[in-house]
Amino acid sequence: ATKPADSATANFREPEKPAAGGGAAGKAGKAAVGSGGVTKPRWLQTTGQASASFTSTQLTPQTVNEIAKLSDEESARQRYDFLKKKKQKGYAQIQTSRGNVNVELHVDIAPMTCENFILLCESGYYRGTAFHRMIRNFMVQGGDPTGTGTGGESIWKKAFKDECSSKVKHEGRGVLSMANSGPGT
């Protein structure tokens, strides 16, 4: 039986927010197409309440534009883009009955997969799971709470996009991979 990582850390940090009013600090963020097909940086998108209040007799007039909040998906994409640009690695320790295994996580290449792994570790998802498949001189497989190899679910309770890269190869000793159920899972 194995004990999974009770703690895992990576350099997950929210990107710096642009300064109010734009300027050089406000160039971060995704672009969106505004009226007339003109592309606007994400930080220039507002809730539209100020404009709406001046064209409606039912709304209280507002004189300040409020920046529109990012959706969870937009926020995650911005965080992952930030991590890829930082080109830093994350690290975790897997605790087993045979000793601890320190692993390096390619946060800069597969940030969503690494975030999923770390959050599952922190939630205790892997605690008490076993290495259920061992092939001598090849690999061990573990982390499936059912112990059958059929897998489990992500921290988001749904499949997520593969983050395959030719920058890393699964060959040689000491390589850690996260298995999935096939393309797009």
Give pLDDT, residue 123: 92
The model's pLDDT over 41-80, given as tens digits with 9 standing for 90+, comes to 655 677 777 777 778 788 788 777 777 777 777 778 888 8
What residues have CB less than 8 Å from 123, skipping those under 6 apart? 155
Positive or negative torsion for Cα 156, 84, 163, 133: negative
Q: Is the pLDDT of residue 21 over 70?
A: no
Give pLDDT, residue 18: 44
Give pLDDT, residue 7: 39
Distance, CA of 108 to CA of 111 (rounded, Å): 6
Give pLDDT, residue 44: 64
Tell me the CA distances in angstroms from 138 to 7, 99, 116, 168, one per residue in order: 27, 19, 25, 18
Q: Is the pLDDT of residue 4 over 70?
A: no
Question: 13 is written with which tokens?
Answer: 């940090």
CA R_g for the chain? 22
**pLDDT class for 30, splitting at 50, 70, 90?**
very low
Q: Tell me if residue 26 falls in helix, strand or coil.
A: helix
Q: How many helices (H) and strands (E) does the chain have?
A: 3, 7
The model's pLDDT over 91-113, given as tens digits with 9 standing for 90+, comes to 999 998 889 989 999 888 888 88
Percentage helix, strand, coil, to 5, in the chain?
25, 20, 60
Give pLDDT, residue 19: 45
Q: Confirm if 111 and 13 have CB atoms less than 8 A apart.
A: no
| Domains along the chain with CATH numbers | 1-15+88-185 (2.40.100.10)
Give pLDDT, residue 143: 85
**pLDDT class for 37, splitting at 50, 70, 90?**
low
Mean pLDDT across the chain, nearest whole number?
74
The model's pLDDT over 144-172, given as tens digits with 9 standing for 90+, comes to 888 777 777 888 888 888 888 888 887 87
Question: Could you tell me which residue, 33 or 126, shows the higher pLDDT?
Answer: 126
Distance, CA of 91 to CA of 114 (rounded, Å): 10
Give pLDDT, residue 15: 41
Distance, CA of 77 to CA of 83 (rounded, Å): 10
Q: Is the pLDDT of residue 1 over 80?
A: no
Q: What percent of the chain has pLDDT over 70?
A: 75
Backbone phi, psi, residue 90, to 5°: -110, 165
Nearest Cα neighbor of 94 from 3, 1, 177 is 3
Question: Could you tell me which residue, 58 or 9, shows the higher pLDDT?
Answer: 58
